[in-house]
Amino acid sequence: MNPHSLLASAGINIGLAIIIISVFSVLKKQPSNSSIYYARTLSRRQNLPLHTRRFLPSVNWVTQAFLLTEDQILADHGLDALVILRLFKFGIKFFSVCSLVGLVVLLPINYGEKEPPDQSYYTTDLFTISNVSRGSERLWVHFSCLCFISFYGMYLLYKEFDDILIRRIQQLQNIKDRPDQFTIIVREIPFCIEHQARDCSVDHFFSKHYPSTYYSYRMVYGTQDLEELVNQGKSLARQIEDSKETSMAKKPKNKLPLLDTLQQETSKVDLLEEKLQALRHTIPKLQCKDMIKKKELPAAFVTFKSRSGAATAAQLQQHSHPLLWITEKAPEPRDVSWRNMRISYRLVPLYKLGVHIAASLLTIFFAIPVTAVQGIAKYEKLKKWFPPAMVMQLM
Ligand SMILES: [Zn+2]
């Protein structure tokens, strides 16, 4: 590798990083993207930060991001986010020491071994291990550096594991009484012909097979229409509240010419309230027992008296038929995807296959730009292995 290709490769990587950071800082400031970058602020109905220069990239958020403490991240974004951030920090700690050892110890060791063969062809290969001849005493330095880096990496991993373990235990203590730890999700529940329903078979099955630990169950119903109506009701209530607030805010300053707009707003509120009232009548009708029973899905949440009871039931095969009574650990309440409950368990392998194909495609397409950057750095080799790359020379 010659110094020019090394510089080109470094330049491309640094340039890409600067472009990505600038694009991120501009996208973050666009009001249309606030649901992505300020989801938490929006859900708390707090005011969004105002950005005056929306289309100019900024860097002040970088220093703010570095000032955030781990406890703040844990409180605001949870343990998973903290672990990901610590992974990056781990990389910085590990690779900065590697670079230091490489620059201070290995580079001078490699360089001093052989005289450059030809003064006119000055290559960076002089700094690599290929410059050290076979059987040289200097290889011991390489060996000890390798040992040092390996032990340093293991020490960092050990420390990281210890810290995250403590955080995790603290987190588990904080969320001691969470119902999902006592609950499993059961799918593909068989239909009881005698009672023309599924819910009775859940109770029969678990009280028969887990008499000492089984506590209760709750069926899952496919109530998308009801869900839509409830969401409509919520948004109507929010709209009414917002209109009332705005009209209240206008009132003290209100003079005669503004009376018209105020009246318009009052009639708008009345109309919204009428709609909400209609929904209040429709929703209970859909919620009645007979209507709900028709929408029963072959899935249920089964609760146990102890965590161990739930864990046992989640890990065992329940029936001689492998596609009946499928049990899994229940997800956290906020992670339940109700839409997925409607999907038959027999289709799940197909969905998994789809995800694997998508992930593989992403990896392959991600590899193309990386290979391109690497290819520029090793153009001489690329020419040998892949002759069409000669086109690059013509460009
Ligand atoms: Zn029955």
Q: DSSP per residue over 153-166, as a string? A: HHHHHHHHHHHHHH
| Strand-strand pairing, 326-329 and 183-187 | antiparallel
Average pLDDT, the chain: 84
| Distance set, CA 300 to CA 58, 212, 217, 226, 308 (Å) | 50, 20, 7, 19, 19
Please state the separation of Cα 276 from the chain's center in Å.
36
Q: What spacing in Å lies between the alpha carbon of 192 and ligand 1's midpoint?
A: 5
Q: How far is the CA of 102 from the centre of ligand 1 (A)?
A: 72
Alpha helix stretches (DSSP H) within 102-115: 107-111
Model confidence at 251: pLDDT above 70: no
Tell me, what's the pLDDT at 115?
Answer: 63
pLDDT in tens, 104-155: 998 888 887 666 565 545 567 777 777 788 888 888 999 999 999 999 999 9
Residue 204 Cα to ligand 1 midpoint, Å, equals 8
Spatial contact of 267 and 171, defined as CB atoms under 8 Å apart: no
> Cα of 201 to ligand 1 centre, how many Å?
5
Beta strands in the chain (DSSP E): 183-187, 214-221, 296-304, 326-329
Side-chain half-sphere CA neighbours of 387 within 13 A: 0
Higher pLDDT, 386 or 364: 364
How far apart are the CA of 82 and the centre of ligand 1, in A? 48
Range with lowest mean pLDDT among 40-54, 116-130, 274-288: 116-130
Q: Ligand 1 centre and the CA of 319: distance in Å? A: 17
Residue 163 banded pLDDT, cuts 50, 70, 90: very high
How many other β-carbons are positioned within 10 Å of the β-carbon of residue 325?
22
304 C-alpha to ligand 1 centroid (Å): 21
How far away, in angstroms, is 197 Cα from ligand 1 center?
Answer: 7
